Chain A
Amino acid sequence: MTDIPQIVGRLLQALLPLLLALACGALLLLLLERDPVSFYATIIERGLLSRLGLQESLTRSAPLLLLAAGLIVAFRAGLWNLGVDGQFLLAAVITAALAPGLAATLPPWLALPLAMLAAFAVAALWAALPAFLKARYGVNEIITTLMMTFLGISLANLLIKLPFNDPATTSPQTLTLATADRLPRLLGSTVHLGLVIALLALLLVHWAMTRTALGLRLRILGANPLTARHVGLPVTGLTFLAFGLSAGLAGLAGAVEILGVWGTVRADWNPAYGMLVIPLVFLARFHGGAVIFFVFVFAVLSIGGETAARRADLPNYFLLVLVALILVFLALTEWLSARPLMRKRG
Chain B
Amino acid sequence: MESLLTTPFLTALLAGSLAAGLPLLLAGLGEQMSEKAGVLNIGLEGMMLLGAYCGFLGAWSSGSLWLGFLCGMLGGLALALPMMLLCVWLGLNQIVVGIALTLSAEGLTALLHHVQFSQSYPRLPRVDTLPLPLLSEIPVLGTALFDRHPLVYLAILAVPLLAWLYRSSLLGLNLQAAGDRPAALDAAGISVIATRSLAVLFTGAMAGLGGAYLATVGAGLFVPFMTSGAGFIAIVLAMLGRGRPLWVLLGALLFGLCLSLTTALQVAGLRVPTDLVQMLPFAAVMLLLLFFGRRAALPAALTRPYRRGER
Residues on A facing B (Cβ under 8 Å): 32, 80, 129, 132-133, 136-140, 142-144, 146-148, 150-151, 154-155, 157-158, 161-162, 275-276, 278-279, 282-283, 314-315, 317-325, 327-328, 331-332, 334-335, 346
Contact residues in A for B100 (Cβ distance below 8 Å): 279, 323-324, 327-328, 331
List the 9 closest pairs (A to B, CB-CB), nearest first: A320-B107, A324-B104, A321-B107, A327-B100, A317-B110, A137-B293, A324-B103, A158-B275, A154-B275
Please measure, in the bound complex, the distance between the C-alpha atom of A147 and the C-alpha atom of B236, giving whole angstroms: 8
Let me know if B226 is at the binding interface, CB within 8 A: no
Is the CB–CB distance between A332 and B92 below 8 Å? yes
**Contacting residues, chain B, for A80 (C-beta < 8 A):** 95
**Which of A162, A276, A319, A331 is most buried by chain B, counting CB atoms within 10 A of its CB?**
A331
* B285 is an interface residue with CB less than 8 A from chain A: yes
Instruction: Determine the distance from Cα of A276 to Cα of B111 in the docked complex, in whole angstroms.
Output: 18
- Closest chain B residue to A327 by CB distance? B100
> Complex formed: what's the CA distance from A144 to B240 in Å?
10
Whether B96 sits at the interface, judged by CB under 8 Å, is: yes
Task: Give bound CA distance, A323 to B107, whole Å.
Answer: 9
Measuring CB to CB, which residues of chain B are less than 8 angstroms from any residue of chain A?
Answer: 40, 82, 86, 90-93, 95-97, 99-104, 106-108, 110-111, 114-115, 224, 229, 232-233, 235-236, 239-240, 273, 275-276, 278-279, 282-283, 285-286, 289-290, 293-296, 298, 309
Task: Give A4 to B240 CA distance when docked, in angstroms.
Answer: 51
Which chain A residue lies CB-closest to B280?
Answer: A154
Knowing A139-B289, A143-B236, say if A321 contacts B108 (CB, 8 Å): yes
Q: A129-B290, A282-B95 are in contact. Are A314 and B111 (CB under 8 A)?
A: yes
A324 pairs with B275, CB closer than 8 A: no
CA gap between A139 and B285 in the complex, in Å: 12
Interface contact A158-B273, CB-CB below 8 Å: yes
Say whether A319 contacts B96, CB under 8 Å: no
CB distance from A324 to the nearest CB of B (A): 3
* Cβ of B296 to closest chain A Cβ, rounded Å: 5
Nearest residue (CB) in B for A319 is B107
Q: Chain B residues near A328 (CB, 8 Å)? A: 82, 86, 97, 100, 104
Query: Do B103 and A143 touch (CB < 8 A)?
Result: no
A283/B96 in contact, CB under 8 A: yes
Instruction: Determine whether the beta carbon of B286 is less than 8 Å from that of A148.
Output: yes
Classify the secondary structure of B's interface with A: helix
Q: Assess the B276–A158 pair: CB atoms within 8 A.
A: yes
- Choose from A146, A276, A332 the contact partner of B232 (Cβ within 8 Å): A146
- In the complex, what's the smallest C-beta–C-beta distance from B167 to chain A, in angstroms? 23
In whole angstroms, what is the CA distance A273 to B190 when docked? 42
B279 and A155 contacting across the interface, CB-CB below 8 Å? yes
Q: Are B114 and A315 in contact (CB under 8 A)?
A: yes
> A129: nearest residue on chain B (CB-CB)?
B286
Name 28 A/B residue pairs within 8 A (Cβ), A-sorted. A32-B115, A129-B286, A139-B289, A139-B293, A143-B240, A143-B296, A147-B282, A154-B278, A275-B103, A279-B95, A279-B99, A282-B93, A315-B114, A317-B106, A317-B107, A318-B107, A320-B104, A321-B108, A323-B100, A323-B103, A323-B107, A327-B96, A327-B99, A328-B82, A328-B104, A331-B96, A331-B97, A335-B90
Q: Which residues of A contact B276 (CB under 8 A)?
A: 154, 158
Contacts of B309 in A (CB 8 A): 346
Contacts A315-B114, A323-B103, A328-B86; A150 near B96 (Cβ below 8 A): no
Q: A334: which B residues are within 8 A, CB to CB?
A: 92
CB < 8 Å neighbour of B289 from A144, A319, A321, A332: A144
Q: Which of B90, B104, B285 has the most CB of A within 10 A?
A: B104
Contact call B273/A162, Cβ cutoff below 8 A: yes
CB-CB nearest in chain A for B110: A317
Q: How far is the CB of B48 from chain A (nearest CB, A)?
A: 15
Which chain A residues border B239 with CB–CB below 8 Å? 140, 142-143
Contacts of A317 on B, CB cut-off 8 Å?
A: 106-107, 110-111, 114, 224
Question: Are A137's CB and B101's CB within 8 A?
Answer: no
| Chain A residues with CB below 8 A from B286, complex form | 129, 144, 147-148, 151
**The one of A136, A331, A346 that contacts B93, using a Cβ cutoff of 8 Å:** A331
Q: Are A279 and B96 in contact (CB under 8 A)?
A: yes
A142 CA to B103 CA, complexed, in Å: 19
Q: How far is the CA of A157 from the CA of B239 in the complex (A)?
A: 27
A44 to chain B, nearest CB (A): 20
What are the residues of chain B within 8 A of A32 when measuring CB–CB? 111, 115
Is there an interface contact between B111 and A321, defined as CB atoms closer than 8 Å? Answer: yes
User: B295 and A137: CB pair below 8 A?
Assistant: yes
